[in-house]
Amino acid sequence: MDYRGSDTLAGPASADLLPDSATMAVKVVIVGGFGVGKTTLVGSVSEIRPLTTEETMTQAGAGVDDLAGIERKTSTTVAMDFGRISITDELVLYVFGTPGQERFWFLWNGLFEGALGAVVLVDTRRLEVSFDVIGRLEDRGVPFVVAVNSFPESPGYPTEDLRAALDLDSEVPIVACDARTRESSKDVLLTLMHYLYGLSARAAR
């Protein structure tokens, strides 16, 4: 699957961003509710300087954006985040982060064009902000894994309790992560790639 020169990777993921040694590029999307750490994950894992569309939060969002549990948040993504990571010399992932606020979800259509799969980043302090996100992915038929981002105040739950709370199929992987660290974020993306490979192998039988 060679996306070089293709308009499938809408936005900054163009041919000049693909390393010379790479023969395959895959687009994946990081989704989640408002303030779960999507921009942090893209920034931590990207091997290039990430493109972000962070804007300072203003009074215009008062009464619209739910800041419960994230009162110290001062900026927000209004369009997308973009980064790149080489999984091997031949395989490159283009990573797109979506806005968390529902009023920006109209941008999802463009961001998901050509994407093979997604990571749903969740915060156990506010699992409810993930319900609609997961529902939209399921409606679109986009395969995804769930990554539980570690915050200092986040309560820990057994995996099966999280699976039940999020109403996930038994095959959907759930992994713990710290979106601030490159290795942890990379492990999340590798989990997604292994999951996609498994789905592809089963479909080919």
pLDDT tens profile 97-135: 988 666 556 666 778 889 999 999 999 999 999 999 999
**Contact between 90 and 24 (Cβ < 8 Å):** yes
Q: What is the pTM of this model?
A: 0.78
Residue 202 predicted with pLDDT over 60:
yes
What DSSP string describes 151-191? Answer: -TTPPP--HHHHHHHHT--TTS-EEEE-TTSHHHHHHHHHH
Which band of pLDDT confidence, cut at 50, 70 and 90, is reported for residue 37?
very high
Which band of pLDDT confidence, cut at 50, 70 and 90, is reported for residue 54?
low
Query: How many domains, in total, are found in the chain?
Result: 1
Containing structural domain, residue 119: 15-204
Kindly state whether residue 8 falls inside one of the protein's structural domains: no
Kindly state whether residue 75 falls inside one of the protein's structural domains: yes
Kindly state whether residue 142 falls inside one of the protein's structural domains: yes
* Residues forming beta bridges with residue 84, ordered by sequence position: 94
Task: Check which CATH number belongs to the domain holding 153 and give it.
Answer: 3.40.50.300
Which band of pLDDT confidence, cut at 50, 70 and 90, is reported for residue 63?
very low
Kindly state whether residue 6 falls inside one of the protein's structural domains: no
Kindly state whether residue 2 falls inside one of the protein's structural domains: no
Kindly state whether residue 9 falls inside one of the protein's structural domains: no
